[in-house]
């Protein structure tokens, strides 16, 4: 079968447009046959892939949630899987790909492979039309591993998992090799998205499977606590590849099956092969095997580190949380031998980066024990008393349990207000998703008008604009007689307008919001700039001129990416190059984080996303940027 053929360097614009026109039909056929053949090899038909973090069920008995992290000596950004930090000089992977032979798929470009179809949740078949291949190859590795904004992470997953026509070859250096497929898989790995990673690996045809992809699969299975599946892959890999990774993984599997003597022999062979070179894995193995109180952890602990600790029933040390990436943090949260408080802290960090569903964080919060009197009186606990009595994580667990069990809306509202008011900015979106079901169940009424501000903000950030709108509508009716309701309406108006709400209060201008907010000086000018940039990008009319904001801006400079990136993003949006626009937006917004975003950068990205018909995504990013900056 012949799938997509990439364009020649001299391809005309007309041919390029024609190529985009047939992309959807050709890609549907190519992706369907590729997926079916690959799944036939793996024996895994799979389920539809969700763009949200996978809920993995029981905190102690089910496989871990989305999680992946390179093991051991890897770059600090987690950009590459374990390539053998213990590799002896000159050692290389040898052997063919894994699986059963299937019919050849012609000259299928592996860049087309994906699990999100163009007609479904994918970004579209022709998203790379007009974008050179070498540009995509250069920018893909720059997608940040740690994306604290849910909207950015979801957008990154859509980009990395979409079935698309390949980018065009425009120069001799562009090849048909699996470079773009590998780059996408490495980014999923660095982001801790094992569900997406394993699903994408499952549709890679045999002829495009490499030693690197085999290692990725094993490490992802370890982090999902599918030890049986991982060890089966290890046994397969030992016969195909010559690399110290497989011996290290074998030692872990031997410990898991209760064969420490065999593991010791494997480790002995590893030492001989290393030839005296320093080995983080061997140092950790010796410490665990000898029952040492302090473990020599790698700077970036990864899948084999965690698997070795689990196989030897060793609790994850507290220090391991500091260097762990999103995937490892999610796996630590599901580690049954690790103390609950440590697991919960890991879960909070993983949830903040989108590597763990908010529901799993809530399940861990529910495992904390509290006296019934403390739960009953949680809403009346002053912040000072709470800080003195318990850690922030335990305090959030208390509020979660109390809100879950409380029947009075007024008390539930106060519990939610307290937990969200004291949350770190990076954790706010995850907590918003966790507490949103409780807030959405509450009936907006006059005596709860004071909750309109914090409750509505939480609901907008959690993506529940309809529920937030009900609070706003109620407060509007009370604003004439209740100053608190009037203030709440004014505070929520920016969110309602950014969300594209159909009904916004008549006095919902930026000037009205400015006069009611408690911020002042440089802080006020910056926040106003963030909101105004969002309004302008989303074509929300507002009479407040930029010059009025500029006059009070002061010296509140924020870091900005290189000007070339912003101009490139603007050009991509104007030209309708969807993939390029998304990729550049992830780079310029993700590298600084929304909490440190420059308003000009935010406005440029939102405008470009709107121009490529991703207005809904742009609205979500604008709302999360507003919340991240204290608005």
What's the pLDDT at 301? 87
Tell which of 180, 208, 236 closes a domain: 208
Residue 463 domain-assigned (yes or no) = yes
State percent of the chain over pLDDT 70: 79
> What pLDDT does 176 receive?
52
Looking at the structure, tell me whether residues 114 and 182 fall in a common domain: yes
Ordered DSSP codes for 7-60? PPTT--HHHHHHHHHHHHHHHHHHHHHHHHHHHHHHT----PPPSSPPP---TT
Looking at residue 127, its pLDDT comes to 94
Q: Which of 329-338, 375-384, 402-411, 485-494 has the lowest mean pLDDT?
A: 375-384
173, 188, 208 - which closes a domain: 208
- Domain-located, residue 536: yes
- 539, pLDDT greater than 50: yes
Domain boundary among 177, 208, 239: 208
How does pLDDT run across 393-428, given as a tens digit for each residue? 999 999 999 999 999 999 999 999 999 998 999 999
Separation of alpha carbons 394 and 422, rounded Å: 13
Instruction: Choose from 257-266, 282-291, 605-614 the range with maximum mean pLDDT.
Output: 605-614
Q: Rg of the chain over CA atoms, in angstroms? A: 26
Segment 18-22 mean pLDDT:
46
Tell me, yes or no, whether 60 lies in a domain: no
| pLDDT of 9 higher than 50 | no
Does position 175 have pLDDT exceeding 70, yes or no? no
pLDDT of residue 64: 35
Q: Find the largest Cα–Cα distance for the chain.
A: 82
Whole-number pLDDT of residue 592: 87
454 CB-near residues (< 8 Å, 6+ apart)? 416, 417, 420, 421
In percent, the amount of the chain with pLDDT more than 90 equals 54
Residue 74: band (very low, low, confident or very high) from pLDDT cuts 50, 70, 90: very low
- Which 3 state secondary structure label does DSSP give 116? strand
Would you tell me how many other CB atoms lie within 10 Å of the CB of residue 22? 13
Which pLDDT belongs to residue 556?
Answer: 62
Same domain assignment for residues 504 and 562: no
More confident site: 532 or 107:
532
Q: Do 494 and 582 have their domain in common?
A: no
Residue 267, in any domain of the structure = no
Cβ atoms of 601 and 589 within 8 Å: the answer is yes
**Domain match, 30 and 116 both:** yes
Assigned domain for 622 exists: yes
Q: Residue 123: inside a domain, yes or no? A: yes
Quick one: pLDDT band at residue 53, thresholds 50, 70, 90?
Answer: low
Residue 82 confidence class, pLDDT cut points 50, 70, 90: low
Q: 392 and 487, same structural domain?
A: yes
pLDDT for the residue numbered 389: 74
SS3 labels along 257-296: CCCHHHHHHHHHHHHHHHCCCCCHHHHHHHHHHCCCCCCC
Average pLDDT of span 231-235: 95
Same domain, 502 and 514: no
Check residue 78 and give its pLDDT: 42
Q: Are residues 410 and 545 in the same domain?
A: no
| Tally of structural domains, the chain | 3
Tell me which of 327 and 542 has the higher pLDDT: 327
Interval 443-486: pLDDT, tens: 999 999 999 999 999 999 999 999 999 999 999 889 888 888 88
Strands (E), 69-188: none
Q: Is residue 316 part of a domain?
A: no
Q: What is the pLDDT of residues 474-530, one digit of tens each?
A: 998 898 888 888 888 988 999 999 999 877 776 677 888 887 787 777 888 889 999
**Amino acid 69: pLDDT:** 41
Per mean pLDDT, which range of 22-31, 288-297, 449-458, 541-550 is the poorest?
A: 22-31
| In the predicted structure, residue 47 carries a pLDDT above the cut 60 | no
- 34-48, 99-113, 520-534: which has the minimum mean pLDDT? 34-48
Lowest mean pLDDT among 52-61, 218-227, 312-321: 52-61
476 and 585 share a domain?
Answer: no
Among the listed ranges 272-286, 471-485, 585-599, which one has the minimum average pLDDT value?
272-286
Residues 188 and 131 in one domain: yes
Query: Within this chain, do residues 441 and 420 fall inside the same structural domain, yes or no?
Result: yes
For 450, which DSSP code?
G
Residue 607 pLDDT > 80: yes
- Residue 423: give the domain boundaries: 372-508
Q: Is residue 9 part of a domain?
A: yes
Q: Residue range 142-161: average pLDDT?
A: 95
At residue 516, the pLDDT reads 78
Same domain, 561 and 612: yes
Mean pLDDT, the chain, whole residue set: 82
Task: Report whether 253 contacts 234 (CB < 8 A).
Answer: yes
Per-residue CA distances from 328 to 78, 85, 350, 529 (Å): 11, 18, 8, 37
Same domain, 555 and 450: no
Specify burial of residue 567 (Cβ count, 10 A radius: 0-12, 13-18, 19+).
Answer: exposed
């Amino acid at each position: 079968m012949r799938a997509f053929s990439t364009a020649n360097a001299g391809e005309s614009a007309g041919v390029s447009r024609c190529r985009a026109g047939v992309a959807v039909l050709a890609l549907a056929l190519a992706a369907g046959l590729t997926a079916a053949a690959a799944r036939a090899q793996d024996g895994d038909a799979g389920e539809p892939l969700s763009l949200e973090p996978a809920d993995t069920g029981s905190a102690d008995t089910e496989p871990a949630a989305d999680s992946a992290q390179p093991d051991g000596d890897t770059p600090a950004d987690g950009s590459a899987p374990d390539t053998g930090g213990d590799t002896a000089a000159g050692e290389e992977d040898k052997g063919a790909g894994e699986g059963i032979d299937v019919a050849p798929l012609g000259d299928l470009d592996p860049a087309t492979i994906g699990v999100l179809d163009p007609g479904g949740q994918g970004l579209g078949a022709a998203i790379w039309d007009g974008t050179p291949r070498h540009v995509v190859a250069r920018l893909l590795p720059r997608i940040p591993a740690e994306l604290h904004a849910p909207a950015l992470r979801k957008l990154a997953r859509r980009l990395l998992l979409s079935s698309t026509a390949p980018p065009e070859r425009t120069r001799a250096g562009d090849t048909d090799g699996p470079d773009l497929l590998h780059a996408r898989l490495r980014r999923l790995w660095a982001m801790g998205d094992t569900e997406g990673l394993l699903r994408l690996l499952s549709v890679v045809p045999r002829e495009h499977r490499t030693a690197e992809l085999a290692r990725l699969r094993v490490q992802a299975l370890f982090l999902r606590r599918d030890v049986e599946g991982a060890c089966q892959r290890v046994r397969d890999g030992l016969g195909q590849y010559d690399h110290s990774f497989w011996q290290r993984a074998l030692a872990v599997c031997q410990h898991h099956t209760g064969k420490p003597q065999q593991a010791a022999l494997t480790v002995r062979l590893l030492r001989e092969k290393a030839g005296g070179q320093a080995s983080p894995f061997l140092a950790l193995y010796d410490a665990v095997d000898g029952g040492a109180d302090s473990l020599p952890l790698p700077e970036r602990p990864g899948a084999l580190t965690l698997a070795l600790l689990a196989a030897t029933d060793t609790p994850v040390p507290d220090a391991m949380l500091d260097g762990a990436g999103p995937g490892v943090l999610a796996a630590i949260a599901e580690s049954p031998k690790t103390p609950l408080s440590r697991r919960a802290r890991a879960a909070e960090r993983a949830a903040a980066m989108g590597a763990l569903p908010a529901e799993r964080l809530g399940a861990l919060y529910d495992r904390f024990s509290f006296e019934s009197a403390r739960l009953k009186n949680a809403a009346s606990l002053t912040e000072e008393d709470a800080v003195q009595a318990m850690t922030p994580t335990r305090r959030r667990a208390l509020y979660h349990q109390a809100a879950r069990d409380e029947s009075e809306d007024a008390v539930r509202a106060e519990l939610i207000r307290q937990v969200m008011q004291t949350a770190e900015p990076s954790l706010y979106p995850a907590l918003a998703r966790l507490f949103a079901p409780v807030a959405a169940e509450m009936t907006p009424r006059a005596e709860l008008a004071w909750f309109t501000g914090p409750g509505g903000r939480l609901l907008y950030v959690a993506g529940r604009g309809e529920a937030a709108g009900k609070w706003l509508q109620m407060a509007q009716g009370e604003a004439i007689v209740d100053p608190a309701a009037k203030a709440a309406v004014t505070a929520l108006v920016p969110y309602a307008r950014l969300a594209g709400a159909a009904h916004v209060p008549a006095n919902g201008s930026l000037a009205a919001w400015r006069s009611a907010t408690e911020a002042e000086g440089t802080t006020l000018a910056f926040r106003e700039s963030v909101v105004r940039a969002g309004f302008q990008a989303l074509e929300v009319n507002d009479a407040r001129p930029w010059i009025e904001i500029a006059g009070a801006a002061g010296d509140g400079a924020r870091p900005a990416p290189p000007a070339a990136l912003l101009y490139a993003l603007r050009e991509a949006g104007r030209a309708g190059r969807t993939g390029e626009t998304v990729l550049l937006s992830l780079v310029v917004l993700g590298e600084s984080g929304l909490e440190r975003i420059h308003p000009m950068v935010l406005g440029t990205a939102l405008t470009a996303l709107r121009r490529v018909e991703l207005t809904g995504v742009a609205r979500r990013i604008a709302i999360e940027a507003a919340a991240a900056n204290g608005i």
